[in-house]
Amino acid sequence: MIGPETAHTIIVRMLKLSRFIPFSKCVIRFLFSYHDKDLEREVFGIKFKNPVGFAAGFDKKGEITNELACFGFGFIEVGSVTPLPQPGNQGPRIFRLPLDMAMINHMGMNNPGAKILADNLSRHSQKRRLLVGGNISKNTNTINDLSPADYEQCFALIYEQVDYFAVNVSCPNVTNLTQLQDREILEQIIDRLINVRHSHDKYKPILLKLSPDLSYGQIDDIIDLIQAKGIDGIIAVNTTVTREGLKTTNEKVEAMGQGGLSGAPLTQLALDKVRYIHEKTEGKLSIIGVGGIMTPDDAVNMLKAGASLIQIYTGFIYNGPGFVKQILKQLKKQRITEN
């Protein structure tokens, strides 16, 4: 059986190849898209055709956004990207846990660097059919004290090419990255980004992507900072380092190594964090809810918990290309619309 990373590479190649097959995009769109005016919503000043996005980590290079658009997504987050290209960790580095409808990855933020991402996005921008978020981070070798400069560099390099920013301070696969969620350093990162934004005419929203492993006290600190700085929203959540309640045997899980767990084991954790942030901010902060959305009902629950938008990754891998359409139909059926 082919491994998950090889499967990913094959899918990306096939989608790129489809550019040369006449009408292929139309056929995919016909099969998997679903449009309804009721699904449109405006969040942090941007109008989305529907609330379902592809989470960061699938299209790290920003090379297949137009192709992914055909599967019905309202937006896609590209990256994470770092200032310099980096290969990430040695493979195998993605594992499926079918018994748990989950995945464990320790990719180590492999990516082509922010400049290449900007070039790729700019090459396809004329034909772009959906909104793109740029997920930025720091190079693994950059020590945390110097990381604000890394975020600033990525931000500046892709500013013109994306519609909003996701600041990834929560990837468990890069040593000590999650410590960037501490107030002092986070404040420096945010200040730098806001400064760069001042130099541009067009306002691009900035969101922080948080770990599901933060305590509620830590989340409170971050909310205080976000509100003080006027950050536009939170993306909750990234993958978790916890391994509780898995059906897959301990031996198998341990053999997969350390890394971030995604998929069904994250459903409740993500939902709890989203609901908490929503209540704590009295619904005034925009939240993108992500983590363990494996069924259309999970999507409904996430939006009901207070998310304005949702993202999927592992659910798309397990459910296949029709998953977005299934979710959108359920949202329409249950009248989960903006108002």
Ligand X SMILES: Cc1cc2nc3c(=O)[nH]c(=O)nc-3n(C[C@H](O)[C@H](O)[C@H](O)COP(=O)(O)O)c2cc1C
Decide if 299 contacts 331 (C-beta within 8 A).
yes
142: Cα within 13 Å, side-chain hemisphere: 19
Among 315, 319, 328, 336, binds ligand X (CB under 6 A): 315
Q: Closest CB to ligand X among 25 and 171?
A: 171
**C-beta of 81: minimal distance to ligand X in Å?**
8
How is residue 4 written in tokens?
């998950």
312 makes contact with ligand X (CB under 6 A): yes
* Nearer to ligand X (CB atom), residue 259 or residue 306: 259
Q: Please give the Cα distance from 204 to 117 (Å, whole number).
A: 17
User: Residue written as tokens 């720091």?
Assistant: 138
Cα 333 from Cα 135, distance rounded (Å): 32
Query: Which residues, numbered 230-289, are part of the site for ligand X (CB under 6 A)?
Result: 238-239, 262-263, 266
Q: Distance between CA atoms of 76 and 65, rounded to whole angstroms?
A: 7
Q: Which residue is nearest to ligand X (CB)?
A: 57
Which of 140/168 has CB closer to ligand X? 168
Size of the site for ligand X (CB under 6 A): 27
Q: Which is nearer to ligand X, 7 or 225 (CB)?
A: 7
Burial class (CB in 10 A: 0-12, 13-18, 19+), 119: middle
**Contact set for ligand X, span 83-122 (CB under 6 A):** 94, 103, 105, 107, 109
80 versus 153: smaller Cβ distance to ligand X: 80
Nearest distance from residue 27's CB to ligand X, in Å? 26
- Alpha-carbon gap, residue 151 to 108, rounded angstroms: 17
- For the chain, what is the radius of gyration of the CA atoms? 19
Site string for ligand X, 43-82 (x = CB under 6 A): ------------xxx---------------------xx--
Output the six-digit token pair for 118.
Answer: 């900007």
Distances (CA, A) of 267 to 277, 291, 312: 16, 6, 11
Q: How far is the CB of 184 from ligand X (least distance, A)?
A: 22
Instruction: List residues near ligand X by CB under 6 A.
Output: 55-57, 79-80, 94, 103, 105, 107, 109, 135, 168, 171, 209, 238-239, 262-263, 266, 290-293, 312-315
